[in-house]
Amino acid sequence: MTEKLRPGLKAQPVAVKVLDLNGSQGHREWLAEVIFLGQLKHPHLVNLIGYCCEDEHRLLVYEYMERGNLETLLFKRYSAALPWLTRLKIAAGAAKGLAFLHGEEKPVIYRDFKASNVLLDSDYNAKLSDFGLATDGPQGDDTHITTRVMGTEGYAAPEYIMTGHLTTMSDVFSFGVVLLELLTGRRSVDKNRPCREKNLVKWARPLLKDHNKLDQIMDPRLEGQYSTEGARKAAALTYQCLSHHCKSRPTMSTVVMTLDSLLELNDMPIGPFVFAVPTEGKNKECSEQEKEKESENECLELKDENKCEENEAELKDKSRNRHKKGHRHRRRIKSLRSRAVYSDTALYKTLGTGLYSPRQ
């Protein structure tokens, strides 16, 4: 977006949201975003720069958020896991955005708080977006407002689903679900998991109050690199936010104070430090020495092979000679035997014996 588009506007990258005419949201939700984001300004709410309404087309122009949304970063495969302190920073930023909405003179109920609606800038500062389902909260003596149940599966508060009664505490429950996703690294609803683990809240909430079982639900991609005390306090806070009784849940201002205190903890474990010294010269020398050793070994192997071949040749020659000598010796014995037999018979014939005496 350039300066020529609107006087006084700095040139900046923007994100354009186009209303899907075939989607679940329509002009009413688009108008709600224009009204709420046009009036509300806060560091943890996305900045609405402009909008467009022409015929059936509806556009919203936001500030560009470099890191995208939390859902993509948290659950994206084959990517580095979000560090513990970064997760706490994101949770604290989103909590401040909700606390601001609830603390207005006319409280605003966000109603669709989930990981995909938390946008992140380059420094992982969280900002709330998508105010299409936002609505004004109860005023005066009213304790709640009654509306049609809307939102995303896995994030909506149980009393809102059962009765349609909506309060600011409904947002607190949804925040607890996102906080649980940050702790476990799991989606609120995952149909690919075993039956008892498909719903994250039902599976993990009983384990949050047991410190001995907390390791079973912590995100394994963190590899233990998180504050033990911070994880316990964050689990306790999550357990309170996910209470089935809306009056037992903390306010968002209390949540902000708790999360800010967790960011100040200094009991992070220090992992093993490995430093590889860059030794290019030494590596070259080592490689040359290794090559020399390899060539020497090859030479020795060749010499050994030559010696083995010479020994085998000598053995073959000796065996051949022995074989030939054996044949000669046998031939000599046969010839001598035949000569001896011939000489005896001739002698008996000449001298005369009983065997060879002539017949009369």
Residue among 45, 211, 219, 36 at smallest CA distance from 133: 36
Q: Helix, strand or coil for residue 51?
A: strand
Residue 130 assigned as binding residue: yes
**Cα–Cα distance list, 111 to 91, 103, 118, 332 (Å):** 17, 15, 13, 117
Q: Which amino acid is at 329?
A: H
Consecutive H or E run containing 253:
helix 252-262
Distance CA 320, CA 125 (A): 90
Q: Which amino acid is at 65?
A: M
Angle between the N-to-C axes of helices 252-262 and 228-241, in degrees from 0 to 180, rounded to the nearest 10: 170
Chain centroid offset of residue 72 CA: 12
What single string gives the DSSP state of each residue in 135-173?
Answer: EE---TT---EE----S-TTTS-HHHHHH-EE-HHHHHH
For the annotated catalytic residues, the residue numbers are: 112
Strands 118-120, 14-18: pairing kind: unpaired
**Cα–Cα distance list, 106 to 33, 137, 149, 188 (Å):** 16, 7, 21, 30
CB 230 within 8 A of CB 261: no
**Cα–Cα distance list, 290 to 217, 296, 298, 301, 321 (Å):** 49, 10, 12, 16, 46
Q: Helix, strand or coil for residue 235?
A: helix
Q: Helix, strand or coil for residue 53?
A: strand
Q: Which residues contact 124 (CB under 8 A, 6 or more apart)?
A: 67, 86, 89, 90
Q: Annotated binding site, which residues?
A: 117, 130
Binding site members for Mg(2+):
117, 130
